[in-house]
Amino acid sequence: MKRLYLMLSALSVLTVLGCGSEKTVSIEYVPTPGETAAFVYTPGVDSECKVLNRETRELEPFVNSGDAPYPIRHSVEIFPKEIYFGDTVYVVTTDENVSSETLKSITDFSDTSINENSCAHLANSIKEYTWIPEFQTKAYHCRGLSQNLDLLPGKKILQKRFYMEFPPLEDKETLIWIELENSIPPEGTLLSLRISSALHNLQNGSFIFVDTTVDILVKPRPETEKALLDAWYQNTPEKTFPEVDGNRKIPNEMDLHANKKSWIKIGWHSYDPWLFVRIGNRKPCDPNNPTTLDGWRKLEASLTPSTMRDEVRLVRLQLEYYSAEPGVKSDLAKKELVQWIKSLPTPQRAVYFAFLQSKRNSFRHNAPALSKKNYELLDALYDESPVSKTP
């Protein structure tokens, strides 16, 4: 599937508001290149759909015991298929009711945003890397909520949205990633990525498991940006990186928060960068992130079009909005952020939407001066919810 996006202005002219002064900086925006890999599975037809044999504890092909075709079609979308070392890949899975009947009590797991058991293999190697989801607190209640709902004929439900960094900054110096980075030729190298997902087994109330395999082309990062990644890794104290606790990454302290030296200044106040930076994304965050809007502008302008640049842009556009004076300037900044998210491929859009949505309570409790603007932003974003716009 080729990437579709709303054409945005190639040149975004930004107004920098200072104390009694004003200057203009130009950032040329080029959408991240690459295509979305899309896979569709029908249980009972496609061999990738498997169930767990409770006696042997092994996976075996699902057999549809009904006379009619299985009523749910499972889709997996992955963006992008081509990245630079250090970039992020986004994944979304959906279930569609392809029958003429309403399916009762289908569980919506979209809030969990957890990717477990997905892994990557180096080409021509037995080495494997498995992603571990990161949480913002050591408490176990943060895994997210699910709800049961009725799925009408022809309707889709967004089941999972998650992301994988190639690699997370804290794992950059592990053997598999060192080997990959040192061996990437100029044209790039293929990494075999396996995505694990699941859908409902309506025949016995358990799950049908699906493994999707796709090749991701990983290209060498431009030298200046490679140096940035190296510096960010070297400058980050070990205690700032998360620790592994079983099948999750958690903060070394009870909750994830940044050193106050890394807080971002907006007006007369400063805020923890984790309000604006997606959890798990340290490219950059504490202690390497810019602490001013102008710093984020310069960083975005310096980066090659890529998902790493998109992550920086996500922060920068939020800061543009929260820094803008009420009225026309604020409305324009909000519109630019909403339209940009709307233009993104579904997997990326879904992950960014979920992140912004998850920060409502954080703004209410930790940034009350920005809470009203945050509410207005979410209100505008709900009109572009990926749940209602999943292709």
Q: Give 344's pLDDT tier (boundaries 50, 70, 90).
A: very high
Domain end residue (candidates: 202, 219, 236): 219
The residues that bridge with 92 in the sheet, in sequence order, are 77, 161
| Residue 389: predicted pLDDT | 40
| Residue 112: predicted pLDDT | 43
Contacts of 293 (CB under 8 A, 6+ apart): 16, 264, 266, 316, 319, 320, 323
Residues 64 and 104 reside in one and the same domain? yes
Nearest to 338 by CA among 319, 322, 318: 318
- The answer to the question of residue 227 being in a domain is yes
- The answer to the question of residue 4 being in a domain is no
Q: Give 125's pLDDT tier (boundaries 50, 70, 90).
A: low
Residues 135 and 256 reside in one and the same domain? no
| Residue 317: predicted pLDDT | 98
- The answer to the question of residue 1 being in a domain is no
pLDDT in tens, 178-227: 999 999 999 999 999 999 888 888 888 888 999 999 999 999 999 999 99
The residues that bridge with 61 in the sheet, in sequence order, are 50
Whether pTM > 0.85 for this model: the answer is yes
What is the C-alpha separation between 268 and 284, in angstroms, rounded? 23
Domain end residue (candidates: 187, 219, 251): 219
pLDDT in tens, 93-119: 999 999 999 988 776 655 444 445 577
What is the C-alpha separation between 175 and 188, in angstroms, rounded? 19
Q: Give 87's pLDDT tier (boundaries 50, 70, 90).
A: very high
Q: Give 120's pLDDT tier (boundaries 50, 70, 90).
A: confident
Cα-based distances in Å from 286 to 133, 138, 272, 290: 19, 19, 9, 9
- The answer to the question of residue 5 being in a domain is no
Query: How confident is the model over 259-284, as a mean pLDDT?
Result: 96
The H or E element spanning position 121 is: strand 119-122
Q: Taking 80 as the threshold, does the pLDDT of residue 17 lie above it?
A: no
Residues 187 and 253 reside in one and the same domain? no
* Total domains, the chain: 2
| Residue 117: predicted pLDDT | 56
Domain that holds residue 369: 11-31+222-389
Tell me, what CATH number does 175's domain have?
2.60.40
Residues 114 and 154 reside in one and the same domain? yes
| Residue 18: predicted pLDDT | 35
Considering the chain, what is the average pLDDT of its residues? 86
Half-sphere exposure of 390 (CA within 13 A, CB side): 26
Q: Give 139's pLDDT tier (boundaries 50, 70, 90).
A: confident
Residues 167 and 142 reside in one and the same domain? yes
- The answer to the question of residue 20 being in a domain is yes
* Range of weakest confidence among 17-31, 160-174, 259-273: 17-31
Domain end residue (candidates: 200, 219, 238): 219
Number of helices followed by number of strands (H, E) in the chain? 9, 19
Q: Taking 70 as the threshold, does the pLDDT of residue 141 lie above it?
A: no
Residues 19 and 89 reside in one and the same domain? no
Residues 124 and 22 reside in one and the same domain? no
| 207-243 CB burial, b ≥16 within 10 A, e <16 | ebbbebebebebbbbeeebeebbeebbeebeeebbbe
| Residue 123: predicted pLDDT | 62
